[in-house]
Amino acid sequence: MKGRNKLANSSGFSSIELIIAMVIMLSIMGVVSSLFSKALTTRLRESSRTDALTSAQAALNVISREISNSGYGLTGNGIVLADSDPGKLHFLSNIINTNEIFTDPAENLTFYYDPVTKSILRYDRNGDGAGRPQTSIIVNRISSLSFLYWDYDGTNPPVGPNLTPSINTSRIRVTVGVSLEQVVGQANPQSVTLVSDVTLRNSDFMLRQY
């Protein structure tokens, strides 16, 4: 009888042991949950950053490609001085090489930022090929667009940056900014900025590089 009671008393876990085991398990679960939450927020942040970079880079590529044609087929750099500043760029080109200059699509363009739609807009005064203007969105979810100008007079290195262009402007810096979406558990707000320096194709500065 005594042996049976001794065996019964030594089997199973005591209440204290069960409580300690539960506390340890809960602590481990808490650590795992915290690590998983941090990994998830990091993934969301990086995904948002990747989307922002892709959008901004796509916009920058389109804008840079078309700005490089500013003044093409003309005697000047093609920039409409009275209609260009840090927030807007209006330029002309003669890509088709017709006698009626800058009357074809993509030969009379304006790039600017619309804060209402958070988009970069491309205004083509000859957009449909029949002289009817056309405005299109280059990219949305953008927080800023700005232009800076460098001048070259043929004797000195480019002078700048300048807030407004001149007849000697030969290089333009395009800056696109994107504010990332808020991510819980991460430092907010975060932003991405991409910059592209574009040398105008027929500028003296470009020709003297060869």
In a domain, 33, yes or no: no
In a domain, 17, yes or no: no
CA distances from 105 to 176, 177, 195 (A): 25, 28, 26
In a domain, 27, yes or no: no
The string of pLDDT tens digits covering residues 10-37 is: 556 677 777 877 778 877 877 777 766 6
Domain total of the chain: 1
Answer whether residue 8 shows pLDDT above 60: no
The letter for the amino acid at 153 is D
In a domain, 56, yes or no: yes
In a domain, 128, yes or no: yes
In a domain, 188, yes or no: yes
Question: Do 198 and 172 form a contact (C-beta atoms < 8 A)?
Answer: yes
The string of pLDDT tens digits covering residues 81-122 is: 999 999 999 999 888 876 567 778 888 999 999 999 989 999
Report the run of H or E that residue 148 belongs to, with start and end: strand 144-151
In a domain, 26, yes or no: no
Please report which residue ranges of 107-176 form alpha helices under DSSP H.
Answer: none
Answer whether residue 210 shows pLDDT above 50: no
Task: Identify the CA nearest to 183 among candidates 4, 43, 15.
Answer: 43
In a domain, 7, yes or no: no
Domain hosting 131: range is 42-207
Gyration radius from the chain CA atoms: 31
What is the pTM assigned to this prediction?
0.72
Answer whether residue 55 shows pLDDT above 50: yes
pLDDT of residue 44: 64
